[in-house]
Amino acid sequence: MTEAFSRLRACAPMVVALVLAALTLRLAPVGALLPSWLPAVLALLALAWPLLRPAGVTRDDTLPALAVLLASIGLAVVARLSPELAHKQIIWLAFSLVLAVAAGPMFARFRVLAAYKYIWILGTIVLFVALALFGQEVNGARLWIRLGPVQFEPVEVIKLLVVLFMASYLAETADVIARTRPWSVRANAKYLGPLFLGWGVSMGILVFERDIGMATLLLATFVVMLYVATRRVDLIAGASIVFGFAAWLASTHYAYVERRIAVWKDPFHDPLGAGYQAVQSLFSLASGGLFGTGYGHGRPDYIPEVATDYVYAAFGEEWGAVGAIALLAVFLAVVLRALRVAQRTPDQYGKLLATGLAAVFGFQILIIVGGVLRLFPLTGITLPFISYGGSSLVTNFLLVALVWAISSERRVGQNR
């Protein structure tokens, strides 16, 4: 098979995804996607993404296609909720696509990232310090930094940095940690110490910043990576106990967490006050039913914060249970593909990195969708690719580009 033909074939999933995306975005209200030439430019850019890979390797080309599909569904949903936000979102989408396309070939040398493990954790701390110094308070939580005209949410970047740190640390020490006995305190402290220190700092600050959703996400990712690397069940048990204790502590000491749990238990106790958002989202989902009201025919605007935290309820109202399940299927495909990449890559670092990125992506969906559907208390994080949010879009595109780079395999018969 020639190089040119294999490159053409690599575009096939992206072409299908772009057709689906175009059909979806055609539904969007007129004027929401201005300027009108931008979507066409974005489509060309998306098409260039799988084409620009190093010669002589194959990559999992469906991953970028799924990312583009999800981002366009998200754009359609945001355009329907608020045209002003859609204008910003499409600019962010252009920026993330440029970044992902530029990073695609660059990430071919992703293994050098393993060498900078303490830089990642240092970066995390720097971002937190910047957040504490220059952060802006929105809705009681200090989560944004304003850089000129753009607002930037550091925790989204931090979740990538933490995965990078843990993958490189565990790739070096996993075999030693695996052979340390659970009751040997000194040895465990020695080998797990730097890991807990690096991750604990970010965790502590997240709790301090009252971003419980992101803290839960990091904890879950941490436990998954540790288990995959070392197969030590006692660490999972320990982390679960720590999580249970922290949750109990938070629920009794933070009024804010207490309120969330009360709303989760019984949103109809105070339907016009604390429970208003939850009740409206339940009504939204209920009026959607099995097939939904149809795009543009629902009234999701009754839900406060609908474009970010509650975007899944808005989607469920207009697209129905079928559409909501279809969306979850696309998310599931991304996670499964990332795990498959982890299985196929030969080296420990690549495996751990792909697993960690899959875990961070999957748990984020689980936490926010489960929160909206009232499986557990809602913690405000974004739904990847769908929610309105620039930093979330950029980091998720980078995440997919990184997994895409890890999936590189030399083509059989090409020994160069």
Q: Report the C-alpha dihedral over residues 135, 137, 140, 142, rounded to 10 degrees.
A: -10
Of the pair 299, 340, the CB lying nearest another protein is at 340
Ramachandran class of 140: left when φ > 0, alpha when ψ lies in -120 to 50, beta otherwise? left
Q: How far is residue 385's CA from residue 358's CA, in Å, rounded to a whole number?
A: 15
Nearer to another protein, 234 or 266 (CB): 234
Q: Which two tokens stand for residue 372?
A: 């909206």
Q: How far is the CB of 29 from another protein (least distance, A)?
A: 13
Q: Give the residue carrying structure tokens 């991304």.
A: 334
Rounded to a whole number of angstroms, the minimum distance from the CB of residue 48 to another protein is 19
Shortest distance, position 180 Cβ to another protein, whole Å: 7
Q: Which is nearer to another protein, 17 or 357 (CB)?
A: 17
Minimum CB–partner distance for residue 298 and another protein (Å):
10
Contact footprint for another protein (CB under 8 A):
13, 16-17, 20, 23-24, 27, 58, 60, 62, 65-66, 69, 73, 175-176, 179-181, 184, 187, 190-191, 291-297, 318-320, 322-323, 325-327, 329-330, 332-333, 337, 340, 344, 346, 409-412, 415
Measured from the CB atom, is 29 or 304 closer to another protein?
29
CB of 54 to another protein, least distance (A): 16
- In angstroms, give the least distance from the CB of 27 to another protein: 7
Toward another protein, which CB reaches closer, 251 or 293? Answer: 293
Residue 187 CB, shortest distance to another protein, in Å, is 6
Residue 214 CB, shortest distance to another protein, in Å, is 28
User: Between 247 and 333, whose beta carbon lies closer to another protein?
Assistant: 333
